[in-house]
Amino acid sequence: MSIARDPINDAHAERGLLDQVSTFIQSARVAAADGITWSEFGELFLALLRMVVAALDSVAIMSGAEKKAFALDAIARLFDAVADKAVPLAVYPLWLVARPAVRSLVLALAGGVLEQLLPIVRLAR
């Protein structure tokens, strides 16, 4: 079973992109309540990016930089909502120290993935 299935389905029930992102993150939080693996976080990460990129690709009133900032903000919100659930309790004190660096790394990865994801999303249409 895919951890991203319910967040994707819940998000598609919403009309606006902001509502879709909020619903996706809330549903991901529920799915991660009992803990997730980093692989599952990666699945949520890619599903959210794909959803946001597909929606933003058709928005003409935003610049490319604004679209990228919106997508990175969505990923930051996902990280803040569920990343702690991927950390075992035994290493949580270390996580508190490493969390800001890991968050920066995830956002840097998202920036790179965005550049590669756009052509893929356009081909899927």
Of 21-25, 32-36, 60-64, which range is least confident? 60-64
Query: pTM, whole model, 2 decimals?
Result: 0.89
Contacts by 92-98 with C-beta closer than 8 Å and gap 24+?
Answer: none
pLDDT at 1 over 90: no
How much is the average pLDDT of 25-29?
96
The whole-number pLDDT of residue 64 equals 80
Could you state, in order of their start, the residue ranges of all structural domains in the chain?
5-124
